[in-house]
Amino acid sequence: MNRAYYSATIRDFLDTSSESILGELTKHNTFTLEHNQRDAWLEEISILRNTLCKLQGKIYFEFSIPRMGQRIDVVILIGSVIFVLEFKVGEKVFTPYALDQVWDYTLDLKNFHEASHEEFIVPILIATKAPSNDYEIALTPQNDKLLFPIKCNSLMLSDVIESVLNFCDGKNIDHLKWESGRYSPTPTIVEAAMALYNGHSVEEISRNDASAINLNKTTTAISNAIRQSKEKSQKSICFVTGVPGAGKTLIGLNIATTHIDKTSDLYSVFLSGNGPLVAVLREALTRDKLRYDKERGKKTKKGAVMANVKMFIQNVHHFRDECLLDQTKPPIEHVALFDEAQRAWDSLQTSSFMRRKKNNANFYQSEPEFLISCLDRHTDWAVIVCLVGGGQEINTGEAGISEWIDSLVRTFPKWHVYISPRLTDSEYSAGESINKLLSSTNVTYNDKLHLAVSMRSFRAENVSLLVKQLLDLDIEGARSTLEIIKGKFPIVITRDLSNARRWLKRQARGAERYGIVVSSQAERLKPHAIDVRTPVDPIHWFLDSKDDVRSSYYLEDVATEFQIQGLELDWVCCTWDADLRYVNNQWEYWSFRGSKWMHIRKKDRQNYLKNAYRVLLTRARQGMIIVVPNGDEEDPTRSPGYYDPIFDYLTNIGFSII
């Protein structure tokens, strides 16, 4: 696959006219060519002609970054070094945003391009009009042949490259092998949403290697069910299962962006009851569009952009309320994708809400039953896609997947059901309900509807298994899995939150995001300046920059399972309180009320708390540190006896201590 708009040996580049190179760049550019982009390309060509005249190698203009849906200005292979160049034509200063940009491009190659894993990679930020300054060439602390970004102007670039080549020893890179190297990106859900919304395909931004079930296969299975339902005028529901981080939300976004045309009867909507996820994705898409338009000199109002985004990603409760206004009219969408379908409300929670908030005392349906009834209003066909996470119910009134199945059996027996065979696994809590479907002739099992491999962590795919074993008290299994993960995905433990903060900052490079997460029941972390009762704004926490005190980077505000479910960070600090305790080789569940801890005895509430830690411990993409405080002998609510056994349990599994 040719990832660059233009590529050539340095010698051929020097022998080719600027006009011919510009023609190649223009021919492959899929967007409207603005004057400022044309002028920038010509300036870059001119600078590089002067810089590379005595060198040999290979040059690539506009090199594709699949995970981010963006392109590196220039990549140059010379000797044993991969140079990543980000030009800021006409700029006099080096902005933090631009510095993170070139960092992130470099990390993308290092992490996701196999042929770049073992090579020296050097990010260079060129503000063409900046004053000349001293520069330093140094490897990053991770010692993985990645250099700190170098800042220079156009006149200094030649000296910088020469100095780097003298610094970096090694074999010359084979250009052909490097170009054919496999790209295996794993985007964050925010990056994926932006790329898909901007017209990139799921194949471009996700892994396709043999160790992971191809997301495209699952998408195809769903698309076939949609096509068949339309052709046969039938109504169908698909249940897609997957381990945490496997890409279920990505599947839903991919289908929704594929059928985004409101004039088509295939028009789809992505629905989620996860308020923070909806808010973060909407804001991220809006900011990305505004930034794109600004770069091209186009004035766009945020409200207009947000209005379009809201049609694409909707809160499931708003969709429900709209359908309540006229209970005979079908929604405009024939296809509805429900993210985290297991979190839909049961009948008690829904009827209570309707009575309290909507002044409707006669509503007795569960949320799954009502949502199915909304699509059932179509006279021809309809499809519901339920994206199901195992062990992800974390709040009172969340019905689990069994209520969807019970609603189908009880009220909609004619609907066709496409089901992942893994839905019978205990973690999906389908219970006896799943057996009621076995006698139906409308049920089709399809292995492609299960995503078995976590794609959240490109470093280690067994993190979700490790967390499951840890929470299931399978010590031997957890030890074995931890041995597989070690060296790929660092997980360490400490008793000191200050140590954890320092560790996070040392690990992160570029715009890699880090933050602290805690259980919503962790109310005795206040002596550590962690107050779960202080609400965090997920938009600021997940999207704002390092200089914003509200962002996760500041390590002041913390996110609970409610804010972070469905989202992720590169590096996570999970601080463990005395709500989930290890006592006599089993878990005990506690809730802090008033001035003391109260034992949680209801099974469903115990499951919610255990699932909360499952969510918290599976949010990291690159590594995690777990903090178990020492407690305080003078404070009966923070007795060391609550915390020491937890730390000992984690130590016994084999986690490294810092």
Over residues 376-399, mean pLDDT: 83
Banded model confidence at residue 601, pLDDT cuts 50, 70, 90: very high
Measured CA to CA in angstroms, residue 105 lies from 93, 109, 139, 181, 344 at distances of: 20, 7, 17, 17, 39
Helices 18-28 & 35-51 angle (0-180, nearest 10): 130
How open is the CA angle 162-168-172, to the nearest 5 degrees? 90
Q: Residue 452 has which token pair?
A: 């078995």
What DSSP element (H or E) covers 389? strand 382-389
Q: Is the pLDDT of residue 637 over 80?
A: yes
- Please determine, for residue 172, whether its predicted confidence score (pLDDT) is greater than 90: yes
Q: Measured on CA atoms in the order 566, 569, 571, 574, is the torsion positive or negative?
A: negative
The string of pLDDT tens digits covering residues 410-464 is: 999 999 999 888 887 766 666 667 777 766 778 998 999 988 776 666 666 789 8
pLDDT at 121: 98
Strand partners, 571: 514, 623
Burial of residue 176, with CB atoms counted within 10 A of its CB: 0-12 exposed, 13-18 middle, 19 or more buried: exposed
Cα–Cα dist 176/325, whole Å = 61
User: Which tens digit of pLDDT belongs to each residue from 460-495?
Assistant: 678 989 999 999 999 999 999 999 998 889 999 999
pLDDT at 517 over 70: yes
pLDDT tens digits, 203-232: 666 655 544 456 778 888 999 999 999 999
For residue 119, is it left (φ>0), alpha (ψ between -120 and 50) or beta? beta
| Prediction pTM value | 0.82
Distance CA 279, CA 64 (A): 28
Residue that wins the pLDDT comparison between 60 and 398:
60
Residues 6+ apart with CB under 8 A from 451: 213, 215, 218, 240, 241, 242, 243, 246, 247, 248, 251
272 alpha carbon, distance to own chain's centre: 15
Sign for the pseudo-dihedral over CA of 384, 388, 394, 396: positive
- Tens of pLDDT, residues 294-314: 877 788 899 999 998 888 789
- Rounded to 5°, angle at Cα 458 from 110 and 477: 140
For residues 237 and 408, give the distance between their C-alpha atoms in angstroms, rounded to a whole number: 9
The pLDDT of residue 210: 44
Average confidence (pLDDT) over 580-599: 97
Beta-ladder partners of 451: 242
- Residue 451 host element (H or E): strand 450-451
Report d(CA 251, CA 337) in Å as an integer: 9
Reported residue count of the chain is 658
Every domain of the chain and the residues it spans: 4-179, 189-451, 463-657
What number of other Cβ atoms are within 10 A of residue 601's Cβ?
8
Cβ contacts of residue 327 below 8 Å, gap of 6+?
none
Summarize the confidence of residues 337-347 as an average pLDDT: 87
- pLDDT, mean of residues 117-141: 94
Q: Please check whether residue 236 is in contact with residue 225, taking contact to mean a CB–CB distance below 8 angstroms.
A: yes
Give the model's pLDDT for residue 247: 80
CATH number of 189-451: 3.40.50
**Per residue in 291-324, is it b (16+ CB within 10 Å) or e — as a string?**
eeeeeeeeeeeeeebbeebeebbbbbbebbeebe
Report residue 141's pLDDT band, with 50, 70 and 90 as the boundaries.
confident
Average pLDDT, the chain: 89
- Residues 383 and 268: their CA atoms lie apart, in Å, by 9
Question: What whole-number percentage of the chain has pLDDT above 90?
Answer: 61
Contact status, residue 278 vs residue 284, Cβ threshold 8 Å: no
What span, in angstroms and rounded, lies between the C-alpha atoms of 524 and 531? 8
Q: C-alpha distances in angstroms, 317 versus 280, 323, 359, 363, 375?
A: 17, 10, 16, 15, 15
Question: In the predicted model, what is the mean pLDDT of residues 91-95?
Answer: 95
Strand pairing class (235-242; 416-419): parallel
Distance (Å, whole) CA 521 – CA 57: 58
Amino acid 47 reads I
The DSSP element (H or E) to which 450 belongs, if any, is strand 450-451
Tens digit of each residue's pLDDT (9 = 90 or more) over 348-382: 888 888 888 788 888 888 899 999 999 999 999 99
The set of long-range contacts for 282-290, using a CB threshold of 8 Å and a minimum separation of 24, is 282/306, 282/309, 282/310, 282/313, 283/539, 283/543, 284/190, 284/193, 284/194, 284/543, 285/193, 285/194, 285/197, 285/309, 285/312, 285/313, 287/543, 288/194, 288/197, 288/198
What is the C-alpha to C-alpha distance for residues 83 and 516, in angstroms, rounded to an integer? Answer: 34
- DSSP states of 284-302 as a string? HHHHHHHHHHHHTT----H
CB of 539 closer than 8 Å to CB of 279? yes
Beta strand spans in 219-375 (E)? 235-242, 268-272, 313-315, 335-339
